[in-house]
Structure 1
Amino acid sequence: MLAPPRTVVRREGGLYALERALQRRGFRFVAGADEAGRGACAGPLVAGAAILPEGKRGEVPGLADSKLLTPAARERVYEEVVSRALAWSVMIIPATEVDARGLHVCNLAAMRRALASLDTSPEYVLTDGFPVDGLGVPGLAVWKGDRVAACVAAASVLAKVTRDRIMVEMDDRFPDYGFAVHKGYITEEHSAALLRHGPCAEHRFSYVNVATASGRVNRPPRARRPVAAFDGQQTLLFDASSAEQPVLPDAAEGTVGVASGDQPQPSPMVGEDEAMEGEKR
């Protein structure tokens, strides 16, 4: 039996080389998926997915890993991705679900849901760092995928811009923490505000720094979120089922969803605390 021909990735193709190599093998619709907010201790986890057209139509001006772009550049690229993509989607996982199910489980679920929400069914999937099973199509987890594959970079921008907009809106509701500046990541200013005011309803109580500030660090991660959360001035009774949803970007031709209410699932042996302490963005 003859071995199948090798897939040749041409270096001159740059950010688009991997997708074009897959398209030459017959995978016309190559989807990328990435997340934003994994290393934050407040706010939602957001996953994006995108399928870019083949050829020149799929080349997005200024496209790069979202972390390498300025906020203004990300907004410009976001609009280009939304207007050019064959299909795109964004899935938002609230902090309450991250606490209930665990960070790693939610990270995979968010990317899986974003990919499943695409209007065009992908024939091949590229994900950033983590393999995602249960998609029904072949896929590849690419290390630093948002710097290697255009569709993953596009998904990265979708997720990052969506989450940043949510955090700016959240800053209006909880002005003591500076969410509009640090977007919920663990900076010196955020840590100081957390210790001064205590956590609010949008903090992730399964993270050790939030649990420490709330006085619940001695409890298991999934039992740390109290019935009452704090806004820094008074106690707020927080009901996740009736909480005000964040202001979402215009969905245009894509899909924006808020995932909540799923039954908690067993988590793999990956601690939220370890992931949180070792990762910053």
Structure 2
Amino acid sequence: MENRSIAVLKKLFDSGALHEDCITQLKTDDRKGVQQLIKTYEKKKRKEEIAEKKFMEMSIFEQRAYANGYEYIAGIDEAGRGPLAGPVVAAAVILPRDFKLLGLNDSKKLSEQTRNYFFHVIKEHAISYGVSVIDSKKIDEINIFEATKLAMHEAINQLNPKPNHILIDAVNLKGLPCTSEAITKGDGKSVSIAAASILAKVSRDRIMKKIHQEYPAYGFESNMGYGTKHHLDNLMTSGVTPYHRKSFSPVQHATYR
């Protein structure tokens, strides 16, 4: 093992082809490059162990539901309750019992690149998922909280097979076809809700980027409709778009200025 070049050893480390006994042997190799490879490997291993532990902690609600005899457990979350423009989007997802995606977390805590990758993985492996979009006009008609609940119900109704149990991020939904739990900050406590949060946020972000092409002055591609200073300044100078929520206070002031 010690006779192998550092370039070869790096490929073996990267491919995961080295067993622990080989790594133990390499710790006696006095080449600085080898020792750096070992440090990098051990750092990566610690990071994976932390991610594994976090994933197990976030699977507690699902495992408890499985233990109670439920087969299809759905996670529900939304994106876009607070912005001044754009829709509110809800997603529902049923993951396989053996689903595993280390690093899965509240979508807001992930980079855009990671969210987009996880979005693809979740859609590819989910037993079923649904995404519902409620536009700003409907939000103004029934208020944002009712619009959020409507989006959640619509997302649930898209699921096939139907869920036996539903885990919801913070919202108590009535009229569900099965048992449910509302979990405060559930997108950081349940893998199913976290997965739903990613489906909802990525879906909404893509909508806002399309709206940005139509109305580039407001910076929707970066602020996603939230009331940043740039957005508010342009709201007052350029006026209200069809995508703004006219029932929200800052937009009301711009509408009737």
With the length of structure 1 as denominator, give the TM-score of the two structures.
0.71
1:17 is matched with: 60
CA distance in 2, matches of 1:208, 1:12: 40
SS at match of 1:46: strand
Which of 57, 60, 63 is residue 104 of structure 2 equivalent to? 63
Which of 42, 48, 53 is residue 96 of structure 2 equivalent to? 53
1:206 is matched with: 247
Which of 208, 214, 220 is residue 173 of structure 1 equivalent to? 214
Which of 210, 233, 237 is residue 196 of structure 1 equivalent to? 237
Which of 108, 113, 122 is residue 149 of structure 2 equivalent to? 108
Which of 104, 113, 121 is residue 80 of structure 1 equivalent to? 121
- 5 Å matches for 1:1-281? 13-55=56-98, 58-215=99-256
- Change in 2 beyond 3 A, CA 1:11/1:82: closer
Runs of 4+ aligned residues of structure 1 deviating over 6 Å after TM superposition are none
1:245 is matched with: none
CA distance in 2, matches of 1:120, 1:186: 39
- Cα distance, 1:62 vs. partner? 2.8
- Change in 2 beyond 3 A, CA 1:101/1:84: same
Q: Which runs of 5+ in 1 are unaligned?
A: 1-9, 217-281
Report the structure, 1 or 2, having the larger helix content. Answer: 2
Q: Is contact 2:55-2:104 (8 Å) kept?
A: no
SS at match of 2:92: strand
CA distance in 1, matches of 2:135, 2:54: 39
| CA distances 1:137-171 after superposition (whole Å, capped 9, x unpaired) | 00010000100111100110000000000000100
- Cα distance, 1:93 vs. partner? 0.2
CA distance in 2, matches of 1:174, 1:120: 39
CA distance in 2, matches of 1:12, 1:209: 40
Q: Is contact 2:55-2:191 (8 Å) kept?
A: no
Q: Which runs of 5+ in 2 are unaligned?
A: 1-52
SS at match of 2:201: helix
CA distance in 2, matches of 1:191, 1:153: 30
| Paired AA for residue 244 in structure 2 | H
- Cα distance, 1:12 vs. partner? 8.2
SS at match of 1:92: strand
Number of residues of Structure 1 aligned to a counterpart in Structure 2 = 205
2:9 is matched with: none
1:7 is matched with: none
SS at match of 2:216: coil
With the length of structure 2 as denominator, give the TM-score of the two structures.
0.77
- Cα distance, 1:60 vs. partner? 2.2
| CA distances 1:57-92 after superposition (whole Å, capped 9, x unpaired) | x11243110000111110011001001110011000
SS at match of 1:176: helix
- Cα distance, 1:186 vs. partner? 1.2
CA distance in 1, matches of 2:54, 2:135: 39
Q: Is contact 1:61-1:80 (8 Å) kept?
A: no
* Identity within the alignment, %: 35
| CA distances 1:236-275 after superposition (whole Å, capped 9, x unpaired) | xxxxxxxxxxxxxxxxxxxxxxxxxxxxxxxxxxxxxxxx
